[in-house]
Amino acid sequence: MFRSFHLLACALALPLLLASDFALADSLPKQEIPATTTLPQTIDLTTPAPDLWARIRNGFAMPDLENDLVTRYQRQYQSYPGYLHRMVERSSPYLHYVVEQLELREMPLELAFLPMVESAYNPFAYSSAHASGLWQFIPATGQRFDLEQNWWRDQRRDIVSSTRAALDYLQYVYEMHGDWHLALASYNWGEGAVGQTIARNRAKQQPADYANLRMPKETRHYVPKLQALKNILGNPELCAELGLPSLPNRPYFYTLTIQTPMDVALAARFAGMNPADFFALNPGYNRPVMPAQSTLVVPVERFPTFGEELRQHNEPWSDWGVYVLQSGEDLSEVAARFGLNLADLKRINSLGGETQPASGLALLVPLRAPGKTVPAEAKTLDDPAFSRLARQGMQPLLFAARTHTVRKGDTLGGIARRYRVSVANLKNMNRLKSNSIRVGSRIALRVERTVAMSGQHPALFSLNSGAVASARMKEAPVMMEEEAVPLPDEDDLSLPPISADTPSPEEDTLTTEDTDTILSLRPSYQMRL
């Protein structure tokens, strides 16, 4: 009974206690506490990005890859900010256009970094496998995607055409696999090889994604290189720390199509540019004259000047014509008749070696040589003889010296097939008496290269002063192999040099060249008018 009474008393007293507490709370000063909830950050895609890097970052759409190779490549790139800076500067004339084309196709914008992996954004890059240009097309794949490769031009080096072909190829392999990492592996290794590897894994009931496929070392390192660049260039603070330049988010160049043949030197003069600067934007041409229906790339600020000069020019657009070699005629005689030395005549026409060409060969010759009366047999480029020139394919002229280190399982025949040379050629060059080769020995090679890749390019030849001195090709700035950060060999993850420019005797790495002035060019874009 006592316990029941106590509980009743407590129940009656509780309202009085609560009332006194509320009265005390009302008498205390009040302070409003703001809400701590933050809304998720959004990106306004209707507002132009402040610079090109921000625009690219806003368009990242590929899943990130995280593995040891990515970490190691990112460490290597960051260890050489000078190399990154040069590569970004080299990309600046072309990057805006690539980004624009990716956006038009609704493709991930990190693909704009792919030419950094392929060629270090050097349109003159040329590999031992005969891949050429920013996107490194080999001849067969270039033909498959409608890139012209003839005596007059090689569109694998053309900025506009090669970008169109590369994005066509990437879209094709993405639609095939539905996965961007597999699409990139296909771009590097070939969709057939990737498809066979996927089928093999599925037959074994094994995972068939990029991370679990067995692939060549070059392909296994391919996507990690792109991801490492994405990690660096996608981080504004890191870019600032590395001193990488900001790129304006605006077009650099427009395009126009010429209806009749035009000299490269004349087009450069119309644009008010040094021929080497002009050629860096139009690297696909092989001759000092561009054929009719050629597409020219002209910087935006030079476009009005180009149009005005074009309208006021009342003379022929080309000082070049066609001469057909006669029976018994010597090349040195032809060169003298047209005011050229023999070396220049050969270079302009991609004629290598000491062999005398057969009669009937069509030669590109100057129609207005200083101090010379041009032979009447020379024809202008609108003559039917011009078609004979067009049918004459590009002739191999120069050779790149390199070596191959013999590995276990290598055979002389296999090495010959890989580098597209004959066994007899290899034996003769290396003074081998038999087909036996020793593991670890080095086999000397001589890989064919076209005239467009080295020396003074024919397209930059001037009738008044000979080959333009400032247009001489030179080795692109590269990160030397001995500068590479030493990494431990661990689970076969030792890395080749990250520079696509650095030759390696054990890898089909690139050897690149560019013009003296290419690094001085500014950001670029293209629009057809």
pLDDT at 497 over 80: no
| pTM of the model as a whole | 0.70
Structure-block tokens of residue 137? 């097309």
**Contact between residue 245 and residue 89 where contact means Cβ atoms under 8 Å apart:** yes
DSSP string, 441-454: -EEEEEEEEEGGGS
- How many other CB atoms are there within 10 angstroms of residue 337's CB atom? 18
Q: Does residue 227 have a pLDDT over 70?
A: yes
The strand order across the sheet containing 320-324 reads 362-366, 320-324, 379-380
How does residue 379 score in pLDDT terms, banded at 50, 70 and 90? low
Active site amino acids: 118
What's the CA gap between 235 and 242, in Å, rounded? 11
What is the sign of the dihedral through the CA atoms of 233, 236, 242 and 243? positive
Q: Six-digit token pair at 86?
A: 């040069």
pLDDT tens column, 256-275: 999 888 999 999 999 999 98
State what percent of residues in the chain have pLDDT above 70.
Answer: 69
- The reported pLDDT for the residue numbered 133 is 96
* Digit-coded pLDDT (tens) for 369-378: 555 565 656 6
pLDDT at 466 over 50: no
Structure tokens at 109: 């914008």
Question: Containing H/E element for 473?
Answer: strand 473-475
CA atoms within 13 Å, Cβ hemisphere of 192: 1
Q: Tell me if 122 sits within 8 A of 135, measured CB to CB.
A: no
Q: Is residue 134 within 8 Å of 161, Cβ to Cβ?
A: no
> Cβ distance 499 to 118 under 8 Å?
no
Is it the case that residue 42 has pLDDT exceeding 60?
Answer: no
Residue 291's pLDDT is: 87
Find residue 399's DSSP bridge partners.
448
Write down the residue that tokens 């008498």 correspond to: 27
Average pLDDT along the chain? 77
Lowest mean pLDDT among 1-5, 249-253, 442-446, 483-487: 483-487
The mean pLDDT value for 3-8 works out to: 50
Degrees, nearest 5: CA angle 398-138-64:
130
pLDDT above 90 (res 441) = no
pLDDT above 50: residue 198 = yes
| Residue position matching structure tokens 């270090």 | 120
The b-or-e profile of 352-390 (16+ CB within 10 A means b, else e) is beeeebeeebbbbbbbbbeeeebeeebbebeeebbebbe
Angle at 63 between CA 61 and CA 67, to 5 degrees: 145
The token duo for 90 is: 């080299």
Q: Which residue did the predictor score with more confidence, 453 or 348?
A: 348
In Å, how far from its chain's centre is CA 497?
18
Res 384 pLDDT > 60: no
Q: Identify the pLDDT of residue 528.
A: 30
Query: Distance between CA atoms of 449 and 453, rounded to whole angstroms?
Result: 7
Lowest mean pLDDT among 17-21, 130-134, 224-228: 17-21
Average pLDDT of the residues in 131-146: 95
Confidence at residue 128, expressed as pLDDT on a 0 to 100 scale: 84
Q: What is the pLDDT of residue 347?
A: 87
Cβ(255)–Cβ(281) below 8 Å:
no
Label residue 355 by pLDDT band (50, 70, 90): low
Q: Cα torsion at 221, 223, 227, 228 (round to 10°)?
A: 20
Question: How far is CA 280 from each of CA 98, 189, 264, 464, 494, rounded to the nearest angstrom?
Answer: 16, 29, 12, 21, 35
Tell me the per-residue pLDDT of 407-423, one tens digit each, with 9 for 90 and over.
888 888 888 877 767 78
* pLDDT exceeds 90 at position 46: no
CB count within 10 Å of CB 433 equals 6
Q: Considering only CA atoms, which of 110, 108, 161 is closest in space to residue 133?
A: 161
